[in-house]
Structure 1
Amino acid sequence: MIPNSKPLRRVPLGKTGKRLSFERRLFLWMTALALPAVVLGGWLMEVSGASAFAMVSAAVVFALVWMLVSSSFVELITRPMQTLANVVAALREDDFSFRARGARRGDALGDLALEINALAGTLQSQRSSALEALTLVERVMSSMQSPVLAFDAQSRLRLHNVAADRAFGLTRPSSDGRSAEELGLGVLLDVRDEGQYSGAKSNDAARYVVRRATFRLRGAPHVLLVLSDVGAALREEERLAWRRLIRVLGHEINNSLTPIKSIAGSLRGRLPESVEAAPNLNRDLQRGLAIIEDRAASLNRFLQAYQQLSSLPAPRLEWVSLRLVMERVALLEQRIAVRIETGPEVELRVDSDQIQQAFINLLQNAVDAALEAAEQEGGAAEVAVMWEVDANQATVRITDNGLGLLNPVNLFVPFYTTKPKGTGIGLALAQQILIVHKGSVSLTNRGDGRGCVAEVRIPLVG
């Protein structure tokens, strides 16, 4: 019974607990109505002096005629009722194509048939509206970028959209009906309304605000969870802040660097070529001006790199082979031989130039770490590339045997670098490219030995 609903009321069809079928009772009543006529006819024949044979023959003929008339009368009454029963049975089975024909107002069966036809039309209209609403809900959910999940009272997953599949690594239909604990979502169910949750499988850095609601499906209570990715918004705000900062720094420093470089070059060109008159002064001026010009050019290149980070163009999406992209990137690295462990064939809808640049930066970072470790401790520098594919995304892993990560917190912060000649742009640019492609990148220390692993996730649907 559905809570808060009125109890069902059953109206009895008769007073007796054990009764014959409607057709048999109707036939017995017709027979009972014939008995007075039989008795009256027999008495009249006896009074008129008819023979016993005539009386028996008349009784048999009368009985046969009466049975034929009774059967016709019973069928005349029961056939419309059977038709209406078939229509009601079809309605119970959600088949709204049946209708009772020949009904008209003014008699009991006609009124009943018309009312059942009207009920069938109403139910059909309601069902069509419900199906259209359900289709609309499914399309809205599939187009939503926010993960949506629904669990029943036993914490079993009953509803999830494509965004939830990507975020939590769910697959259809194997994930349907499984418990939250089996899917690794037990913590998610414990989050209060408007609380924060992190730890999605597709992006370890993702942070979500969870909105909770309850609804009933077939009378059973369900919990609806809608997750909003605040991590993406925070990263976008951070990127815009860095972009504004870089624009201001670039404008101010360039205004100073350009005249400094120009004046240094002009002064060096005006110095006398002969150093006999003032050898030390000429040499010192030449050296000083050369240093000023070189550092101005280096700082200008540094700013140009950061301006590239702040003005990343919109991607031009096309279908490209992941294997071909990784082979091209590996061939560009000439310092060591990068080992490629070929994965399954898959095509991604990405900007080929941008995604190659992201992998170039990650691979260069891995090779730098491996060469540094080999120079300090000896041994061979090793870097390997591998990838795998599931129902929602492609995962690429770049592993090295370097010294590992000492400060993973600031890896993707612009301006931050641990390399003497680094600009701090490589990892930040790779992250920005993958965010634009709705993917993610993470760097962690290897659990199976010394070194680091860079893991890139790119959704299969662009």
Structure 2
Amino acid sequence: MEYERRTRSRKAYSAIGRVWLYCVWLALPALVFAGILVAQEKLDISESLLIIGCLLVYLGLMAAALVDTLVRQLQTLTNVIASLREGDYSFRARGANSHDPLGELAGEVNALADLLQGQRVRSLEATALLARILEVMHAPLFAFDRDNVLQLINASGAEMLGRPYARCFGRTASELGLDELLNAPDQTIHLFGNRSARWLLRRASFRQEGAPHTLLLLADVSVPLQEEEQAAWKRLIRVLGHELSNSLAPIKSIAGSLLMRVNSLPAEEDMKRDFRRGLGVMESRADSLHRFVQSYRLLAQLPPPKLSRVALGPLLERVALLEQRLAVQLDSGPAVTLLVDPDQLEQMFINLLANAVDSTLDNNKQSVRVSWRMADDSAWVEIEDSGQGIANAENLFVPFYTTKPKGSGVGLALAQQIARGHRGEVELVNREDGAGARATVRLPLE
């Protein structure tokens, strides 16, 4: 109880009040001693009051100077610490030295301010670096809080959603159409929206202000998967082409030899005619199958491009003139010179233009347009038709897949392979301005 009573009485006085109290107790012996001296000297009352008054003034001034010095240093430290709390690290305490406790305290406060300022600079630099990384990332990135509300998104993510930034933040995963991805397991492949791209999902968890968050990162794996598929098809084509060619050649040879010996058989004319017809069909089909296999083997045996400087405009003019089934509209573009294999490039455009003309004629139309332009250090060639459009975009570049009754399924796959051999890309989409499809070829400049 006594300790609590002392504690309450000590709390009743402020720190400055206690300093003034200690100054009074310090000056009290001097006042008593002065009073004793005045009494011994037997001075009159006016002289006594003058001496004691001067002494009181002197002691008061000294006490006030002591308190003011202490208060000023403490207020300076208080202002510096308040500035640090508010995030302003430009203020420093004066009188920082190691000769007295207040100087040491001021030095420690200044050291703390320097440390916090350095941490803030590093934090700002790290934040700027993160913002720059998010800006240049081609992979869409999303961060959701515990309520599945979007808290972070980069430019690729906003482009993927087809929304501006302002319409992305604060929306739930369901509103953005990302609830399926948010609930999907890690390292799974998904299709999103109307795009034919395949996305590899990577997810991770992190905490911000103690609350759990979920980070989603999507990587476009369409090109790597297509390349793996192309490699698998090439291996399959090489094996099947070798075995079928080895079997079809003797079948054709034997059928031809037997066909020449039919007339010497001792049989009726009707039977000989049946033999000739059957052996002729065998020889014809074997020859057709052989040519069919050779066309597929072209995919697996496409040589690397032999590069030379080629003017794009004259090359497209030659390709357009080769098509005689209808008049191809060729829109002139800028003068572009590419470092490409002219034979492979011409074959690629022949295949794409032939597909466009086939689709247009099947739709009883007569409009096919070819144009080119320059953008992003690349040449862009567009071939637009007036056909029925694309029904199944996922299998366009898969070898052997075709929607034509007499198609082989090689043309588009070969065109894509040639474009990628030149560090380019072929894209085929339905037109937005009317019926038909648009084939876009991107070829990088030198």
The equivalent residue for 2:438 is 454
Three-state SS of the structure 1 residue aligned to 2:184 is: coil
Three-state SS of the structure 2 residue aligned to 1:198 is: strand
8 A Cα contact 1:246 1:310, kept in partner = no
Q: Does residue 62 of structure 2 align to residue 69 of structure 1?
A: yes
The equivalent residue for 2:208 is 217
Q: Distance in 2 between matches of 1:179 and 1:457?
A: 37
Q: Does residue 11 of structure 2 align to residue 15 of structure 1?
A: yes
Aligned to 1:368, which of 332, 354, 358? Answer: 358
Aligned to 2:141, which of 148, 164, 186? Answer: 148
Q: Distance in 2 between matches of 1:387 and 1:187?
A: 40
**1:79-112 residue CA offsets vs partner (Å, 9 max, x unmatched):** 443444344345432638857764328x543554
The equivalent residue for 1:104 is 98
Amino acid paired to 2:186: E
The equivalent residue for 1:227 is 218
Three-state SS of the structure 2 residue aligned to 1:216 is: strand
Amino acid paired to 1:454: R
8 A Cα contact 1:157 1:175, kept in partner = no
In terms of fraction of residues, the more helix-rich structure is 2
The percentage of counterpart residues that share the same residue type is 35
Amino acid paired to 2:411: G
Normalization by structure 1: what TM-score? Answer: 0.60
8 A Cα contact 1:333 1:364, kept in partner = no
Three-state SS of the structure 1 residue aligned to 2:176 is: coil
Q: Does residue 341 of structure 2 align to residue 333 of structure 1?
A: no
Measured on the aligned residues, the alpha-carbon RMSD in Å equals 5.8
Instruction: Tell me how far 1:241 sits from its aligned partner.
Output: 1.0
Q: Does residue 393 of structure 2 align to residue 401 of structure 1?
A: no
Aligned to 1:412, which of 383, 389, 397? Answer: 397
Give 5+ residue unaligned stretches, structure 1.
Answer: 1-11, 263-287, 319-323, 375-379
**1:129-159 residue CA offsets vs partner (Å, 9 max, x unmatched):** 7667667766776787654321234544443
Give 5+ residue unaligned stretches, structure 2.
Answer: 1-7, 254-278
Q: Distance in 2 between matches of 1:255 and 1:35?
A: 124
Instruction: Tell me how far 1:204 sits from its aligned partner.
Output: 1.9
Three-state SS of the structure 2 residue aligned to 1:333 is: helix
The equivalent residue for 1:441 is 427
Q: Which has the higher contact order (CA 8 A, sep 6+)?
A: 1
The equivalent residue for 1:245 is 236
Instruction: Tell me how far 1:239 sits from its aligned partner.
Output: 0.7
Bigger Rg, which one? 2
Instruction: Tell me how far 1:227 sits from its aligned partner.
Output: 3.0
Instruction: Tell me how far 1:240 sits from its aligned partner.
Output: 0.6
Q: Does residue 15 of structure 2 align to residue 30 of structure 1?
A: no
Three-state SS of the structure 2 residue aligned to 1:65 is: helix
Alignment of 1:335-350 (within 5 A): 335-338=326-329
Residues 406 and 47 (structure 1 numbering): CA distance in 2 closer, same or farther, change over 3 Å?
A: closer
The equivalent residue for 1:9 is none
Aligned length: 402
Aligned to 2:227, which of 236, 239, 245? Answer: 236
Q: Does residue 184 of structure 2 align to residue 192 of structure 1?
A: yes
Normalization by structure 2: what TM-score? Answer: 0.62
Alignment of 1:32-181 (within 5 A): 33-34=26-27, 37-38=30-31, 41=34, 44-45=37-38, 48-51=41-44, 53-92=46-85, 93=87, 95=89, 98=92, 102-104=96-98, 108-110=101-103, 112-113=105-106, 115-116=108-109, 119-120=112-113, 123=116, 146-153=139-146, 155-161=148-154, 164=157, 167-168=160-161, 174=166, 177-180=169-172
Q: Distance in 2 between matches of 1:352 and 1:59?
A: 112
Q: Distance in 1 between matches of 2:398 and 2:427?
A: 13
Alignment of 1:284-433 (within 5 A): 303=294, 306-308=297-299, 311=302, 313=304, 329=316, 332-334=319-321, 335-338=326-329, 361-374=351-364, 380-383=365-368, 399-405=384-390, 410-419=395-404, 422-432=407-417
**1:198-222 residue CA offsets vs partner (Å, 9 max, x unmatched):** 3446x82223343333212233432
Instruction: Tell me how far 1:184 sits from its aligned partner.
Output: 3.3
Three-state SS of the structure 2 residue aligned to 1:179 is: coil
8 A Cα contact 2:361 2:387, kept in partner = yes
Amino acid paired to 1:186: L
Three-state SS of the structure 2 residue aligned to 1:212 is: strand
Instruction: Tell me how far 1:160 sits from its aligned partner.
Output: 3.9
Amino acid paired to 2:355: N
Instruction: Tell me how far 1:299 sits from its aligned partner.
Output: 5.9
Instruction: Tell me how far 1:62 sits from its aligned partner.
Output: 3.3
Amino acid paired to 1:453: A
Instruction: Tell me how far 1:406 sits from its aligned partner.
Output: 5.8
Q: Distance in 2 between matches of 1:117 and 1:333?
A: 78
Residues 327 and 454 (structure 1 numbering): CA distance in 2 closer, same or farther, change over 3 Å?
A: farther
The equivalent residue for 1:206 is 197
8 A Cα contact 2:390 2:437, kept in partner = no
